Structure 1
């Protein structure tokens, strides 16, 4: 046999062996076993309530265990924008009439509430964006409403003054401190999707307010941030030119330290946690440049749509990219306390008097606006809780 013939025969033999090997490999493959090593869940979750109608965003637990929730008008059929969970149902709060917009006076009646917070002093506050669907807020409609928990009656309404409002303003979350100011101070995030983010500082007695950290790096979306949820890029919408565009959201989650001296906050479109002295926030002699320089970047915590603080100096943050809740200890250490595939977009955190951390899992990222008009949410949405053996940070 010639050298060429031998080489040709050897090549054919090698190819035949390789083909046989591949065929054998292909026929031997089996589906991945159900008990193969997999991602492990963390934390024992309880479902407190299941929502079968409109999507909730906010939850608060009072010091005697009452549960309040809100439903912003983002496209769902919202029968009432604030409710109380009791007797296995959600009832409009404080009543059905107040949950209807007053066309003659935007300051009266609720338009679209984004957040509810119990203040530790016998009231629950309702944060009305007056901006259904993230539209420009209706003039004179964005407001804070305090409801007395004993009488279930509105006892105070604070309309955001024009000097802190922009056509792009979307007031999102709030924290109270009754240790400063005649009747206390409230800090509110502007989580605009098209304009500057900010921290709005309002004096409760007078209703006077100022915008701080307006358009600062710490209150603005991270330009390099690309959210990934359930393994896919999330919050993708269509831009004015019809091309895909990721929705960006400014300062969102907010938490006040147990001593009231530090405010923690973060843009929704970011993985970083920021903090700043509340004394500097309230001081009109401190310039915006000085205030921005005083902000501390506390590093990455995960992407959050809600923050909370406890009485021991810890901060809790949702991590919507990883179906998780994380805890930052007073010394700066982080620990994941919840990681579960059912925690689909954790939104808003509230610590109850029972030592549980309550939060909503509302599948926000599955809304039709992010999926070419197809609503991928799978009802029910859930109000969940996990034991943390801690009390809420005091407000007074």
Structure 2
């Protein structure tokens, strides 16, 4: 007998930009000239290149194939396992290399922030980190920039460690000097009371041998206000949103215990992987538990702008000059490590976009 009952309502007008039938992507960025770059961390898939540009519907290793071949003898000048790519709006593509394939301990000297000149498609600078900044447990995740402070600007990188302290790494782009802030504090740490649920199931580590453990990941999503004065961030395994003054992050005279008191709490926004800020001051964040995208207004009000069953784990966001919000959808929660060794992901993964009528937040 056929009968219709009320159903959950879905909304949001998406366009498909690209389908991925190979390795699983995590990062995307759209440059000021509408070039699109993506990255594929080496988590076990057959990753032929860890950074690519989408050109006429095809993936091309970027800036070339040779740099995308890991070279342990020259770890600082080859891409090992890239987690994030960010175009800064002024001609540079920034690449965050975790140097931690399969979430291993970072290869010494390999964890780095790389600047690529988009006009010449060549590396212009490489920033590596000391052992006191990139710890044996560190997993470099995402990065945001402000070129209005200091002589060459600052970068802010999240450490989303699964078994060590999370934190925010601050980088002086003139000198390359970097340091950790809010390291191991509650706002950058996994929420110990959070139990993620995706597609109706509890998300946890489920190993081939039948053993299980909670899924815990530290500070991940990061977004910087349009004026550069506020940094928003969130742990991956948490529904909470936090912020802090970037002036305070850069001020080394403020001790950690005093810095923690300056963190502001914005409320529950849903569990997010990627976040991005628009020029109007709105923060866009995914909600991977509910296949949704949230918009957090400058006054703290939140609204859902898309809710769609195809948003199977919204990962990284980028806003293009066309005023579209671009997002990677990669079914991260269906990986084998969450299902006793069975890979439940279905090809293709996707790059989607939705019109938001807002330009990206300027960094300069």
State the TM-score bracket (shorter-chain normalisation). over 0.9
Is 1:369 matched up with 2:361? no
Aligned to 2:287: 319
Distance in 1 (CA, whole Å) between partners of 2:224 and 2:131 is 25
Aligned to 2:193: 224
Aligned to 1:39: 8
Is 1:355 matched up with 2:323? yes
Farther-moved stretch of structure 1 (47-56 vs 102-111): 102-111
TM-score by length of 2: 0.98
Aligned to 2:93: 124
Structure 2: where are the runs of 5+ without partners? none
Question: Is the 1:82–1:113 contact (alpha carbons within 8 Å) kept by the matching residues of 2?
Answer: yes
Is 1:261 matched up with 2:229? yes
Distance in 1 (CA, whole Å) between partners of 2:137 and 2:115 is 25
Farther-moved stretch of structure 1 (358-367 vs 241-250): 241-250
Question: Is the 1:161–1:208 contact (alpha carbons within 8 Å) kept by the matching residues of 2?
Answer: no
Distance in 2 (CA, whole Å) between partners of 1:85 and 1:139 is 31
Distance in 1 (CA, whole Å) between partners of 2:207 and 2:40 is 24
Within a 5 Å distance, the mapping from 1:55-66 to structure 2 comes to 55-66=24-35
Question: Is the 2:207–2:341 contact (alpha carbons within 8 Å) kept by the matching residues of 1?
Answer: no
Is 1:201 matched up with 2:158? no
Counterpart secondary structure, 1:365: helix
Distance in 2 (CA, whole Å) between partners of 1:162 and 1:102 is 20
Per-residue CA distance 1:261-318 (angstroms, 9 max, x = gap): 0000000010000000000000011010111111011110000001100111110000
Is 1:243 matched up with 2:211? yes
Task: For residue 141 of structure 1, report the CA deviation from its aligned partner.
Answer: 0.4
Distance in 2 (CA, whole Å) between partners of 1:284 and 1:112 is 31
Distance in 1 (CA, whole Å) between partners of 2:340 and 2:10 is 31
Per-residue CA distance 1:331-350 (angstroms, 9 max, x = gap): 11111011000000000110
Per-residue CA distance 1:124-149 (angstroms, 9 max, x = gap): 01100000011000001000111111
Question: Is the 2:207–2:339 contact (alpha carbons within 8 Å) kept by the matching residues of 1?
Answer: no
2:312 maps to which of 309, 330, 344: 344
Is 1:113 matched up with 2:91? no
Counterpart secondary structure, 2:259: helix
Task: For residue 161 of structure 1, report the CA deviation from its aligned partner.
Answer: 2.3
Counterpart secondary structure, 2:132: helix
2:113 maps to which of 120, 144, 147: 144
Counterpart secondary structure, 2:161: coil
Per-residue CA distance 1:243-264 (angstroms, 9 max, x = gap): 3212200000000000000000
Structure 1: where are the runs of 5+ without partners? 1-29
Counterpart secondary structure, 1:97: coil
Q: Name which one, 1 or 2, has greater alpha-carbon Rg.
A: 1
Distance in 1 (CA, whole Å) between partners of 2:124 and 2:204 is 38
Counterpart secondary structure, 2:337: helix
Task: For residue 242 of structure 1, report the CA deviation from its aligned partner.
Answer: 5.5
Counterpart secondary structure, 2:74: coil
Task: For residue 237 of structure 1, report the CA deviation from its aligned partner.
Answer: 2.6
RMSD over equivalenced CA pairs, Å: 1.1
For these two proteins, the number of residue pairs brought into alignment is 364
Counterpart secondary structure, 1:236: strand
Counterpart secondary structure, 1:106: helix
Aligned to 1:213: 182
1:85 maps to which of 37, 46, 54: 54
**Runs (4+) off by over 4 Å:** none
Question: Is the 1:186–1:203 contact (alpha carbons within 8 Å) kept by the matching residues of 2?
Answer: yes
Is 1:285 matched up with 2:253? yes
Question: Is the 2:210–2:340 contact (alpha carbons within 8 Å) kept by the matching residues of 1?
Answer: no
